[in-house]
Amino acid sequence: MTGSPFGTRPAAWAAAFLIGAAGTGVLGGVAHAEDIDHLTAQQIADRSRDALLGANSLHVSTRGDLGKGTPSMSLDLTVDRHGNCNGSVDLGRSQGSVLIVKRGDDVWLKPDADFWKNQVPNGGSAFAAIVGERYLKAAADSPRLRGLTKACDLNTFQKLVSDNANDDTGTLNKGPKTTLGKNPVVPLTRMRGDMTLTVDVAATGKPYPLRLSLHGGDGTDAVVNLSAFDEPVPRNTPSPADSYDVSALLSRTSAPT
């Protein structure tokens, strides 16, 4: 098996969405302490950006299409600043999905049958037979897995927001207070060309961004939901009996007999 069957798409998709969101200038600036009802749209955006950058962990789930032929993907991950994560990545369009657990210097991956078939066309079925229902275990810094492990680090998300927070092109509008599930939120909307970004900011407690929606005339229709701020990433990891070392897998050159 040459190259990386896991590619860079999960991290690239997450990066593309967050750059698109942060690059619209909705999240950026210095926090203020006034009640959210009396804040301007920009002041709420400032508070929301600071709250996000101050989080030590969160749960992120994404779905949708970034347009321009970008494959639809989804992430469902709990991540923290230490690079720990737990969740799944779905490549969309029946291209496969992967369960992922990252703790410290180790990462465990459990691809499904569609992943082995579509992402590893040469030998995928043989590798799937070898691994069975176990997780692949590898070093978290393995170059082959960088596409997945990069998406598993909260620092990646926060750096994208921070690096792209100063672009305020377009009009930022504050909508009337509403609810997102059971949470009261204030929606902020920025228009740029035919692209619309809406950020729903928590109206009580810390002003975390709870949902980011990106829509555009090029087929872009994507949503990111953020929750479980500062709640720890689950510490459970697959047992040795449920794990298969990726280096042993890569050393296999033929299907099992």
Residues 6 or more apart whose CB falls under 8 angstroms from that of 33 comprise none
Q: Look up the pTM and report it.
A: 0.84
Averaged confidence pLDDT in the chain: 81
Q: Give me the pLDDT at residue 138, please.
A: 93
Q: What is the pLDDT of residues 1-30, one digit of tens each?
A: 444 555 445 544 454 455 444 444 455 444
- Kindly list the distances between the CA atom of residue 190 and the CA atoms of 36, 65, 162, 198, 199, in Å, as whole numbers in the listed order: 18, 19, 18, 7, 9
Q: What is the pLDDT of residues 115-136, one digit of tens each?
A: 888 888 887 888 899 999 999 9
Q: What is the pLDDT of residues 62-114, one digit of tens each?
A: 888 776 666 677 889 999 999 999 999 888 878 888 999 999 999 999 999 99
Residue 79: CA count within 13 A, CB half-sphere: 24
